[in-house]
Amino acid sequence: MINVTLKDGSVIQVEKGSTLLDVAEKISEGFARKVLSATVDGEVHGLPLPLKHDCAVNFHTFEDEGGRLAFRHTCSHVLAQAVKRLYPEVKLAIGPAIDDGFYYDVDSDFPFTPDILAKLEVEMRKIIKENIPLVRYEMPRAQAIQYMESLKEPYKVELIQDLPEDVAISFYSQGDFTDLCAGPHLVSTGKLKGNAIKLTSCTGAYWRGDSKRKMLQRIYGTCFPKKEELDAYLQRIEEAKKRDHRKLGKELGLFTLMDEGPGFPFFLPKGMVLRNTLIDYWREVHKKYGYVEISTPMILNRQLWERSGHWYHYKENMYTTQIDEEDFAIKPMNCPGGMLVYKLEPHSYRDLPLRCGELGLVHRHELSGTLHGLFRVRCFTQDDAHIFMTREQMKDEIQNVVKLFDEVYSVFGLKYEIELSTMPEDHIGTVEEWEVNQNILKDAITAMGKTFVINEGDGAFYGPKLDFHIEDCLGRTWQCGTIQLDSQLPERFELEYTGTDGEKHRPVMIHRVVFGSIERFIGVITEHFAGAFPLWLSPVQVKVMPITDRSGERCKELVKLLDEAGFRAEADLRNEKIGYKIREAQMQKIPYMLVIGDKEVEDGSVAVRTRTGEQMNMSYADFLKKITEERDTKAL
- The count of C-alpha atoms lying within 13 angstroms of the C-alpha of 245, restricted to the half-sphere facing its C-beta, is 22
Phi, psi of 507 (to 5 degrees): -75, 165
Tell me how far apart the 2 most distant CA atoms of the chain are, in Å.
94
Is the dihedral angle over the CA atoms 37, 39, 40, 43 positive or is it negative? positive
Distance CA 19, CA 59 (A): 12
Q: Would you call 613 helix, strand, or coil by DSSP?
A: coil
Please say whether the beta carbons of 266 and 256 come within 8 A. Answer: yes
Q: Provide the residue type at 586 as one letter.
A: Q
Between CA 233 and CA 239, with CA 235 as vertex, the angle to 5 degrees is 115
> CB neighbours of 631 closer than 8 A, spacing ≥ 6?
535, 536, 541, 566, 567
Distance CA 23, CA 35 (A): 11
Please say whether the beta carbons of 540 and 569 come within 8 A. Answer: yes
Distance CA 65, CA 540 (A): 43
Q: Would you call 91 helix, strand, or coil by DSSP?
A: strand
In the chain, the N- to C-terminal Cα span, in Å, equals: 61
| Kind and range of the H or E run holding 149 | helix 141-150
Residues with a catalytic annotation lie at 335, 364, 382, 384, 386, 465, 511
> CB neighbours of 267 closer than 8 A, spacing ≥ 6?
254, 255, 275
Q: Is 71 exposed, middle or buried (0-12, 13-18, 19+ CB in 10 A)?
A: buried
Q: Provide the residue type at 566 as one letter.
A: G
| Kind and range of the H or E run holding 615 | strand 615-619
SS3 sequence of 547-572: CCHHHHHHHHHHHHHHHHCCCCEEEC
Distance CA 141, CA 164 (A): 9
Pairing of strands 177-180, 169-174: antiparallel
Please say whether the beta carbons of 174 and 60 come within 8 A. Answer: no
Distance CA 36, CA 46 (A): 7
Count of helices and strands (H, E) across the chain? 20, 33
